[in-house]
């Protein structure tokens, strides 16, 4: 069929179409409750650790990234946070012919402290089921919004770049009637705990605040008990 055929004045065939969304990407956008003391404890622990440890270099640019053993040095607050994240991960998990309780749930945890100009390149967390992040301080000054200081977490459509192989302006319409973007930014505040599939590529936009931005990241995996 040529394009001329499509532009003909023939009466178009009418059709009804019902959009259906398949292959969901589950993302838990949570908020810790009554956790001010816990977050203050975590921040104190992180600052103490940062004062005596150089940290690691990963996807982070210009930020301090602790080692991934925070469950060993983070005390009871870190243990409680890990349990909260695992409970969310369990609710989003299913295993054929067994239960989430038939598995040991394993967590690696680390802290990120980001000064002005810091960012995280697009990356994923291979070898895990879920990734999680708790936001302790968005780095905004009093009277300044979280949006103004940047540092937004963004998630990449895992089907990218399939849909843009020929025309980069193309977007698929979602079941909500809106064009689906290749990257989605998440609006975050202190106390937000987000859990998403570990294979979902994500990054952090440049942080522009004058204070430091503090978050705690986790890798969550599950292994069949032996
Ligand atoms: Fe990450």
Q: Say what the pLDDT of residue 5 is.
A: 65
Instruction: Enter the tokens of residue 163.
Output: 């849909």
Q: Say what the pLDDT of residue 21 is.
A: 86
Q: Say what the pLDDT of residue 166 is.
A: 85
- Ordered DSSP codes for 88-123: HHHHT--BTTB-GGGEEEEEEEEEEEE-TT-EEEEE
Q: Which of 144, 160, 142 is nearest to 202 (CA)?
A: 160
User: Coil, strand or helix: which one is 71?
Assistant: helix
The domain ranges of the chain are 29-166+182-224
CA of 204 to the centre of ligand 1 (A): 9
**Which residue ranges in the chain fall short of pLDDT 50?**
none
CA of 53 to the centre of ligand 1 (A): 21
Query: Which residues, other chains included, contact 132 with Cβ-Cβ below 8 Å and sequence gap of 6+?
Result: 85, 88, 89, 193, 194, 195, 196, 217, 218, 220
Instruction: Enter the tokens of residue 167.
Output: 């025309």
CA of 16 to the centre of ligand 1 (A): 42
Q: Say what the pLDDT of residue 7 is.
A: 65
CA of 141 to the centre of ligand 1 (A): 25
CA of 180 to the centre of ligand 1 (A): 22
Q: Say what the pLDDT of residue 18 is.
A: 87
Count, residues in the chain:
226
CA of 172 to the centre of ligand 1 (A): 26
Q: Return the bridge partners of 222, or none.
A: 105
CATH number assigned to the domain covering 29-166+182-224: 2.60.120.620
Q: Say what the pLDDT of residue 165 is.
A: 80
Give the separation between CA 49 and CA 32, rounded to whole angstroms. 23
Q: Say what the pLDDT of residue 11 is.
A: 86
CA of 132 to the centre of ligand 1 (A): 8
In this structure, the number of other CB atoms found within 10 A of the CB of residue 45 comes to 19
Q: Say what the pLDDT of residue 4 is.
A: 57
Tens digit of each residue's pLDDT (9 = 90 or more) over 148-202: 999 999 999 998 777 678 888 888 899 999 999 899 999 999 999 999 999 999 9
Give the separation between CA 223 and CA 104, rounded to whole angstroms. 5
């Amino acid at each position: 069929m040529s394009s001329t055929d499509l532009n003909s004045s023939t009466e178009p065939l009418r059709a009804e179409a019902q959009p259906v969304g398949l292959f969901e990407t589950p993302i838990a956008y949570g908020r810790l409750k009554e956790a001010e003391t816990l977050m203050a404890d975590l921040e104190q622990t992180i600052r103490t650790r940062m004062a005596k440890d150089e940290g690691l270099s990963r996807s982070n640019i210009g930020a301090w990234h602790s080692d991934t053993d925070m469950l060993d040095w983070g005390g009871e607050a870190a243990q409680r946070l890990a349990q909260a994240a695992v409970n969310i991960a369990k609710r989003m998990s299913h295993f054929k012919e067994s239960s989430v309780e038939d598995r040991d749930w394993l967590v690696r945890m680390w802290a990120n402290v980001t000064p002005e100009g810091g960012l995280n390149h697009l990356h994923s967390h291979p070898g895990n089921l879920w990734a999680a992040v708790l936001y302790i301080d968005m780095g905004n000054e009093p009277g300044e919004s979280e949006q103004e200081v940047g540092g937004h977490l963004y998630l990449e459509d895992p089907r990218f770049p399939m849909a843009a192989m020929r025309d980069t302006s193309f977007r698929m319409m979602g079941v909500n009637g809106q064009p689906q973007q290749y990257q989605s930014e998440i609006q975050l505040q202190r106390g937000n705990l987000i859990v998403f599939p570990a294979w979902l590529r994500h990054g952090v936009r440049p942080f522009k605040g004058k204070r430091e931005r503090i978050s705690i990241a986790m890798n969550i995996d599950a292994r069949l008990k032996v």
